[in-house]
Amino acid sequence: MKIFWRLIYQLVVRFYLSAIYFSSMFNTKAHKWVEGRRNWKEKLQKTNPDKRPVVWMHCASLGEFEQGRPVWEKLRKVNSDYFFLLSFFSPSGLEAGTHQNLADLIMYLPGDTASNADDFIALAKPKIAILVKYELWYHFIAALNQRQIKTILIAAVFRPRQWFFHFSGRFFLEHLKQLNHIFVQNEQSKNLLAQHGITRVSIAHDTRFDRVLEIATQSWCLNAVDEFCKGHFVFMAGSTWPADEKLLANSLQFLPHKSKLIIVPHEINKQHLRQIASFFQEAVLLSNWEQTENKDSRILIIDRMGILSRLYRYADIAYLGGGFGRSIHNVLEAVVYGIPVIFGPNYKKSLEAIELIKQKAARSISDEAGLEVAIRAYSNKKECQKAGNTAAQYVAQHAGGSKLIINYLLSDS
């Protein structure tokens, strides 16, 4: 039976790769996926001429890299003589640009076939392999096992309904047992793995806790936002989509007198900015702040990418976008600053959101009436401070996972 399902897996991977190659003729993302993997063997052969020991980390995309980043950066500090190889599955991860100085080589991972995996591991010759969250590719794990390379999985979350625990995925469990160690985010994951005979497991929580703490403690300011916020109660909406912006259109009337509102859209393009301006007609764009005569405006729209995680330090309350779509934006980026958060109904994929709601440091809303109730509650100074302190304590209690992982990697285990 295991052989049958292994064969099915191989056929599915082959079909997926064929579909990607076909789609690349008319789909930009698929085209990047294919083009980025051309000549990957030559890239590996030409790098690391000094034959330094290799540390390899693989991530699906940018979000997973942010989870692995605290471990990656600490490992680079203590092993500066190593060669650091970073791979991605998705074009959005490789092209983000925020990691360009954090590795000796950044590349795509080839498709999970037996020959690709064998060739990749044989050419890269990693001493340590770090897989992040869900990046579990059967043939790559097999190739690592065969060469007895120390391999760990970090920031992992396991649920009973995942295919690993379905009868069709049981063949994969044998490979999970062969990983040197698995660092999971919660007790449920550890217990579930134990039920299936996988015991080399530790709870290290989500390593993003360490990342957001690092960002929050760094000195940073933006003069225009400083000037806009100074002396005012600030409500910030981060990573918003049109559904969020429509909901927030009347939010100023629910806030204390002379409060300020900052909108940080998920996507910044002219069409979206015009749409936001239709909801917030008195708003000023960050890029126009120095030239505007409307510095008394109560609404600022951030038309600049890459600074949201630092902007939350200006907020007294935060609204997290995406909750009326697939899922809410990163909760930790906001609560690390000790502020309560509000978000839409689609938050069940976020463990942090679920736990913060239980601890009354977050509220989920489904309409404008719910938004008003949440804003008015957190506008109360005592309630805001209490919820904010709970949020900050939550982050502090879950930090330190990257240190645990680093200690394991540097040990002789």
Q: 383-398, pLDDT tens digit by residue? A: 999 999 999 999 999 9
Task: Tell whether 149 and 233 lie within a shared domain.
Answer: no
Task: Tell whether 255 and 293 lie within a shared domain.
Answer: yes
Task: Tell whether 257 and 298 lie within a shared domain.
Answer: yes
User: Can you give the C-alpha Rg of the chain in angstroms?
Assistant: 23
Do residues 150 and 178 lie in contact, with contact meaning Cβ atoms separated by under 8 Å? no
Burial level of 243, CB count in 10 A (0-12/13-18/19+)? middle
**Sheet strand arrangement including 54-59:** 105-108, 83-88, 54-59, 126-132, 150-156, 181-184, 201-203
Task: Tell whether 171 and 257 lie within a shared domain.
Answer: no
Task: Tell whether 157 and 116 lie within a shared domain.
Answer: yes
Q: Is the pLDDT of residue 115 over 60?
A: yes
* CATH label of the domain that carries residue 180: 3.40.50.11720
Phi, psi at residue 80, to the nearest 5°? -65, -15
CA gap 107, 14 in Å, rounded:
21
Residue 131: strand pairing partners: 58, 153
Question: DSSP assignment of 42-93, as one string?
Answer: HHHHHS-TT---EEEEEESSHHHHHHHHHHHHHHHHH-TTSEEEEEESSHHH
Task: Tell whether 208 and 245 lie within a shared domain.
Answer: no
Neighbours of 43 (CB within 10 A): 15
Which range (87-101, 290-304, 313-327, 381-395) has the least confidence?
A: 87-101
Higher pLDDT, 3 or 150: 150
* pTM as predicted: 0.82
CA gap 30, 329 in Å, rounded:
25
Task: Tell whether 149 and 258 lie within a shared domain.
Answer: no
Task: Tell whether 52 and 182 lie within a shared domain.
Answer: yes
Task: Tell whether 192 and 302 lie within a shared domain.
Answer: no
Phi, psi at residue 156, to the nearest 5°? -80, 150
Distances (CA, A) of 139 to 127, 135, 244, 268: 18, 12, 42, 39
| Predicted local distance difference test score (pLDDT) of residue 46 | 85
Question: DSSP assignment of 160-189, as one string?
Answer: TTSGGGSGGGHHHHHHHHHSSEEEESSHHH
Among the listed residues 80, 74, 106, the one whose alpha carbon sits nearest the alpha carbon of residue 91: 106
| Predicted local distance difference test score (pLDDT) of residue 61 | 87
* CATH label of the domain that carries residue 351: 3.40.50.2000
Task: Tell whether 250 and 169 lie within a shared domain.
Answer: no
Report the number of distinct structural domains present in the chain. 2
Task: Tell whether 195 and 287 lie within a shared domain.
Answer: no
Helices 368-379, 381-398: axis angle to 10 degrees equals: 90
| Predicted local distance difference test score (pLDDT) of residue 40 | 92
Which range (18-32, 62-76, 116-130) has the least confidence?
A: 18-32
The average pLDDT across 105-133 equals: 94
Do residues 68 and 59 lie in contact, with contact meaning Cβ atoms separated by under 8 Å? yes
Q: Is the pLDDT of residue 179 over 80?
A: yes
Q: Is the pLDDT of residue 99 over 80?
A: no
The boundaries of the domain holding residue 382 are 220-398
Task: Tell whether 237 and 181 lie within a shared domain.
Answer: no
